[in-house]
Amino acid sequence: MSTSRILHLAQIIAAQTALVDEHISNSGVAAPSFEADAPIEPIQKSNAEVERARVSAVEASIELRQLLEGPIKLILPESNFAPLAAIYRFKIATAVSPEGSTSFTDIASKCGLLEHDVRRLIRYASAHHRCFQESEKGRVSHTAASKLLAENEQIGHLMGLTFAECWPAHSRSLDAMAQKSEEPNVSGFSLANSTRLNMFEFLAQNPDRAQRFAGAMSTTSQASLDALATYFDWANLPDGGTVVDVGGAQGHVSVSLAQRFPQLRFVVEDMQEVVKDAHNKIPDGLKEKIRLVAHDMFTEQPIKNADVFLLRYVLHDWPDKYCVKVIEGLAPALKQGAKVVIQDHLLPEPGSLSLLQEMMIRSMDNIMLSLFNSREREVDDWKDLFNRAHGKQWVVSVTRVKENPSTGIIVAEWLGDLES
Ligand SMILES: C[S@@+](CC[C@H](N)C(=O)[O-])C[C@H]1O[C@@H](n2cnc3c(N)ncnc32)[C@H](O)[C@@H]1O
């Protein structure tokens, strides 16, 4: 008798979980737990093999659950994020004592809410998200998830981005979509905030929210910086060669490249409010090599004859016609052989990545839609942008990053001059 799909999935889960469990016993690390003292990373001291086993068990669990729950549940998933949004907004996690427990009455009074609302929010979050537990009736204590929310500033920023910015934007993205616009201010975000500004313009006028957004964005993984360093031949650029980091925020990527490739000099360009005072954040040893300047990338590039113009996770924030404008703005500054180097998401062929990777990149693509009316791009979409901006003058190559295949490095070499 052949094994059914559900049994096969259950076997994968059993076998892969056994590998993870063996790692846990052999290395003497904590087992995954919902308790408040559980570490943030579910599996400590993991390695590539253990991580593969963990991911494979998670993916099989998702498919098994979907099969066992059936198609109605697939199209009617739980989709009420108001409880988590309220927990973030009313700072409910910090109202719960770090040790021991706190009554619903005390939480309600600290947060300025009705007790019966607090009770239902917490009981929902506890059942759906393992966020808080009712250790005894009427008294709330932390789980690993709620403790993180109370104590980890970075997670707080990410919760803010998710529930105070993305969630309202998602719900209005349908109205934006119906307008079939290619303008960045016709987005779910702009409609949700009743503004005619695009998200970057809006944040520039709302410093607290801009700071929260920057805080949420501030974790750049080392693996992503490694990919940028290894998938383009920076070492081969000439001594004293110039890299212009367009939309480079406060220079963290240029700092990383300057540390690895000391022969290079960098100019970081971003909006005035982003670069002002940012020079203080450049490490002392690199201050000579990294200059920060205010520049609007939709206008002509002022730094002429640089060797590389880097656009790292910049163009995915913009609709196509604006990306073409950025590339056209670079053209007058380019010498023959200059390169535009892009590190960004690279949409896969549907079904070619693992389930978790596919879910992540499709989520990201739809977040881009809601926040910016922009998009993630496939290989041909990237080539098309250069085609639309002085097409004959570019040789474009697109390389998928093996270690993180939903991202890529796009290199466009400038062949000629604008007159030819
Ligand atoms: C997603 S962040 C990427 C930052 C950085 N390149 C990185 O890889 O971490 C996009 C950046 O584009 C900048 N930006 C947005 N509009 C801009 C404009 N008109 N001119 C220059 N930079 C802009 C934002 O301020 C932000 O720093």
φ/ψ of 117, rounded to 5, equals -70, -45
Ligand 1 center to residue 217 CA distance, Å?
11
Nearest to 289 by CA among 312, 255, 260, 245: 255
What are the boundaries of each domain within the chain?
Answer: 5-75, 82-151, 153-217, 222-351+375-414
Ligand 1 center to residue 296 CA distance, Å?
10
**Max intra-chain CA distance, the chain:** 78
Answer whether CATH 3.30.450.20 is correct for domain 82-151.
no
The tokens for 334 are: 């380019």
Q: Which of 200, 222, 273, 330 to mutate to test the pocket of ligand 1 (most atoms within 8 A of CB)?
A: 200
ipTM: 0.99
**Nearest residue (CA) to ligand 1, atom 8:** 312
- Selecting among 142, 316, 345, 390, the annotated active-site residue is 316
Distances (CA, A) of 140 to 94, 104, 124, 137, 144: 12, 7, 13, 8, 13
Which ligand 1 atom sits nearest the alpha carbon of residue 310? 6
The tokens for 311 are: 């656009």
**What string of pLDDT tens digits covers the 420 residues of the chain?**
688 999 999 999 999 999 999 999 999 999 999 999 999 999 999 999 999 999 999 999 999 999 999 999 999 998 899 999 999 999 999 999 999 999 999 999 999 999 999 999 999 999 999 999 998 999 999 999 999 999 999 899 999 999 999 999 999 999 999 999 999 999 999 999 999 999 999 999 998 998 888 888 777 789 999 999 999 999 999 999 999 999 999 999 999 999 999 999 999 999 998 898 889 999 999 999 999 999 999 999 999 999 999 999 999 999 999 999 999 999 999 999 999 999 999 999 998 999 999 999 999 999 999 999 999 999 999 999 999 998 889 999 999 999 999 999 999 999 986 655
Ligand 1 center to residue 315 CA distance, Å?
9
Distances (CA, A) of 307 to 256, 297, 338: 18, 17, 5
Which residue ranges have their beta carbon within 6 Å of ligand 1? 200, 220, 247-249, 253, 270-271, 274, 296-298, 312-314, 317
Answer whether CATH 3.40.50.300 is correct for domain 222-351+375-414.
no
Ligand 1 center to residue 247 CA distance, Å?
4
Residue 116 is a catalytic residue: no
The beta strands (E) that lie in 271-385 are given as 290-294, 308-312, 339-345
Which ligand 1 atom sits nearest the alpha carbon of residue 250? 27
All residues at 6 or more sequence positions from 290 whose CB lies less than 8 Å from its CB, including other chains: 251, 254, 255, 258, 265, 266, 267, 268, 282
